[in-house]
Amino acid sequence: MAHRCMIVGCGGISPAWLKPLSAMDDVELIGMVDLDRTVAEGRAAEYAPGAAIYTDLSAALAELSPDVVFDCTVPSAHAKIDVQALEAGCHVMCEKPLADTMEAARCVVAAARSTGRTHAVMQNRRYLPDIRRFRRLIADGSIGRPTMLTADFFIGAHFGGFRAEMDHVLLLDMAIHTFDAARMILDARPVSASCTEWNPHGSWYTHGAAAVALFKMDNGARFSYRGSWCAEGMNTSWESAWRIVGDGGSATWDGGAQIAGEAAGSGDTLIRAGIPIEPPASVELELTGHAGCIRGFLDSLGTGKAPETASHDNIASLAMCLAAVESAETGRTIAIDLEAV
Ligand SMILES: NC(=O)c1ccc[n+]([C@@H]2O[C@H](COP(=O)([O-])OP(=O)(O)OC[C@H]3O[C@@H](n4cnc5c(N)ncnc54)[C@H](O)[C@@H]3O)[C@@H](O)[C@H]2O)c1
């Protein structure tokens, strides 16, 4: 039986959802909600001509009774919309970030738990074949136990729009992808964060276009992040450039197809030559990016198994962003407490 789905928020990112959703056999797009009716009508005309259009979520939930709600609104609206949809009996998947505060995020996780519905977050960058290959190299034990992970993100992105004037633009709008990737690569949760953030000379943003952050993880590893959204020239990939050090070797990933590794060598020399590690073969994903993440969520429904980006786990990625911001603002190292989640 098809999932009766409704999308809330039909702005810039919504085609990345609507395109794959409209191609899925087990999805019926029954409604579209946006504060701006013409925006919702435009998306419906392109992707789901039969969908009912609403500007009011309560009316849409009451009249359509969807099984699934996809929330593509702005971060400050996520928690309220998602709690309302969960309480109306819907499973919900929302765009990153889960919420704009930890308190709001905890409310969403609690609502999913109390209603017995699934809530998950879009982390499309997990659904790329190369991050899965890199993760496999580490999970295989090829470099031993991870002790240190680094990510470099240097891109000169001239967006304009809301990002030009957003506070903490790099940490709040982009870094969650990289921090979530770090959790995936290390298979670990954050314990503390320290961060410095600034808006470099020449930046075309008004706040926080560059940051350097250090996280302690619960497996003892440290994760360091260096990022700039106003770095011209020598850009990294959007997935960042990575290095991981384990107690039995090291590996690098350029964020694209280039993965290399060396296991620890032996002998009595000062520097021991590493032994090349064959990178894992390509990982076949039937669907990638947004499509893959949505498919994983839909396939989890009714199985009793949480999707990979379930909010009770994904809240740890949000916690890294918000702790980094707090550290940058206070100059202190911030403890990250995920016990109560
Ligand atoms: N995963 C990714 O790679 C990726 C990329 C870009 C944006 N995003 C995320 O997607 C979300 C939306 O970003 P965007 O660029 O599409 O923003 P946008 O401003 O283009 O669109 C947001 C839409 O939501 C509507 N809206 C706002 N509040 C609403 C409410 N309470 N009820 C109904 N509709 C409401 C607005 O009218 C607007 O049409 C953000 O959370 C952003 O971080 C994710």
Where residue 105 falls among pLDDT bands split at 50, 70, 90?
very high
* Ligand 1 site, residue 123, Cβ cutoff 6 A: no
Instruction: For the beta carbon of residue 244, count every other beta carbon within 10 angstroms.
Output: 25
* Residue 34 near residue 55 (C-beta atoms within 8 A): yes
Q: Is 41 left (phi over 0), alpha (psi -120 to 50) or beta?
A: alpha
Give the C-alpha separation, 161 to 173, whole Å.
13
* Residue 34 near residue 64 (C-beta atoms within 8 A): no
Q: What is the mean pLDDT of residues 290-303?
A: 97
Where residue 1 falls among pLDDT bands split at 50, 70, 90?
confident
| 76 CA to centre of ligand 1 in angstroms | 10
* Ligand 1 site, residue 18, Cβ cutoff 6 A: no
- Report which secondary-structure segment, H or E, holds 84: helix 75-87
For tokens 């034990």, the residue is 141
| 14 CA to centre of ligand 1 in angstroms | 8
| 253 CA to centre of ligand 1 in angstroms | 31
Mean per-residue pLDDT over the chain, rounded: 97
Best residue for ligand 1 mutational test, from 41, 95, 159 (most atoms within 8 Å of Cβ): 95
Give the C-alpha separation, 42 to 161, whole Å.
21
* Ligand 1 site, residue 124, Cβ cutoff 6 A: yes
Residues 6+ apart with CB under 8 A from 186: 138, 146, 149, 217, 219, 221, 223
Q: Distance from first CA to last CA of the chain, Å, rounded?
A: 33
Best residue for ligand 1 mutational test, from 70, 74, 121, 180 (most atoms within 8 Å of Cβ): 74
Atom 34, ligand 1: which residue's CA is nearest? 34
From the CA of 11, give the closest atom in ligand 1. Answer: 21
Domain 126-288+318-335 -> CATH class: alpha beta
- Report which secondary-structure segment, H or E, holds 266: none
Where residue 72 falls among pLDDT bands split at 50, 70, 90?
very high
| 279 CA to centre of ligand 1 in angstroms | 37
From the CA of 122, give the closest atom in ligand 1. Answer: 1
Give the C-alpha separation, 89 to 71, whole Å.
15
Q: What is the mean pLDDT of residues 96-117?
A: 97
- The pLDDT of residue 18 is above 80: yes
* pLDDT digits 0-9 by tens, 247-294: 999 999 999 999 999 999 999 999 999 999 999 988 889 999 999 999
Q: Are strands 91-94 and 68-71 parallel, antiparallel or unpaired?
A: parallel
Give the C-alpha separation, 15 to 297, whole Å.
18
Give the C-alpha separation, 213 to 225, whole Å.
5
From the CA of 124, give the closest atom in ligand 1. Answer: 1
Atom 3, ligand 1: which residue's CA is nearest? 124
Best residue for ligand 1 mutational test, from 6, 13, 35, 123 (most atoms within 8 Å of Cβ): 13
Q: Is 158 exposed, middle or buried (0-12, 13-18, 19+ CB in 10 A)?
A: exposed
* pLDDT digits 0-9 by tens, 142-197: 999 999 999 999 999 999 888 999 999 999 999 999 999 999 999 999 999 999 99
What confidence score (pLDDT) does residue 341 get?
Answer: 67
Atom 38, ligand 1: which residue's CA is nearest? 11
Domain 3-121 -> CATH class: alpha beta
* pLDDT digits 0-9 by tens, 83-96: 999 999 999 999 99
Give the C-alpha separation, 87 to 75, whole Å.
19
What confidence score (pLDDT) does residue 327 get?
Answer: 98
What confidence score (pLDDT) does residue 162 get?
Answer: 87
* pLDDT digits 0-9 by tens, 306-326: 999 999 999 999 999 999 999
For tokens 């700039």, the residue is 228
- Partnered with residue 92 across adjacent β-strands are 69, 119
Residues forming CATH 3.30.360.10 domain(s) in the chain: 126-288+318-335
Q: What is the mean pLDDT of residues 21-29?
A: 97
Give the chain's radius of gyration (CA, Å).
21
Residues forming CATH 3.40.50.720 domain(s) in the chain: 3-121
Sheet holding 210-217, edge to edge: 275-277, 259-263, 249-253, 241-246, 146-154, 222-228, 210-217, 190-198, 334-335
| Encoded tokens for 191 | 């314990």
- The pLDDT of residue 212 is above 90: yes
What confidence score (pLDDT) does residue 282 get?
Answer: 84
Give the C-alpha separation, 95 to 56, whole Å.
19
